[in-house]
């Protein structure tokens, strides 16, 4: 268990630097859409720190796929649930979405998560099956 916690922290720290970059990109698009004129220092602080935390959690949770006792579907469901709560919570905290848009966010999130997960899982499974067939020969 200690190894998984350590790996979670290492993965998280590797990607937490992206928080300020994510914040800048989101603010740029909000500004271009006419949704923002200026930011207060507290908005900048909350935005940068919260997106660093968002990136830390999002990268760290991928560790669930390294826990061999977890079935792949369970690991994917845990990862998806944590990512959903992570993104939704920080998006609401920063005012990037409003409560009336949660259903739209949920549909987009679930569709994107399933697509990305399938795009990674299916080719990996095919490669593993090919390697297993070669080992049998």
3-state secondary structure of 69: coil
Question: Quick count: other Cβ atoms within 10 Å of Cβ 114?
Answer: 12
Distance of alpha carbon 13 from alpha carbon 41, whole angstroms: 24
Going from N- to C-terminal start, the domains of the chain cover: 2-100
Length of the chain: 137
Q: What is the pTM of this model?
A: 0.76
The number of angstroms, rounded, from the C-alpha of 10 to the middle of its chain's C-alpha atoms is 15
Whose tokens are 């207060």? That residue is 40
Residue-level pLDDT, tens digit, the chain, 137 residues = 788 888 888 878 877 777 778 778 888 888 888 877 788 888 888 888 888 899 889 988 988 988 888 898 899 999 999 999 999 999 999 888 999 999 999 999 999 999 998 998 889 889 988 898 888 87
């Amino acid at each position: 268990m200690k190894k998984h916690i350590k790996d979670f922290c290492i993965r998280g720290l590797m990607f937490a630097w992206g928080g300020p970059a994510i914040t800048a990109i989101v603010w740029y698009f909000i500004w271009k859409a006419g949704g923002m004129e200026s930011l207060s220092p507290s908005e900048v602080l909350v935005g940068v720190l919260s997106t660093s935390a968002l990136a830390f959690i999002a990268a760290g949770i991928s560790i669930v796929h390294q826990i061999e006792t977890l079935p792949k579907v369970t690991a994917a469901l845990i990862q998806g649930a944590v990512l959903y709560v992570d993104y939704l919570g920080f998006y609401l905290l920063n005012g990037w979405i409003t409560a009336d848009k949660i259903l739209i966010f949920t549909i987009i999130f679930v569709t994107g998560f399933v697509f990305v997960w399938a795009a990674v899982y299916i080719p990996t499974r095919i490669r593993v099956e090919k390697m297993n067939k070669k080992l049998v020969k």
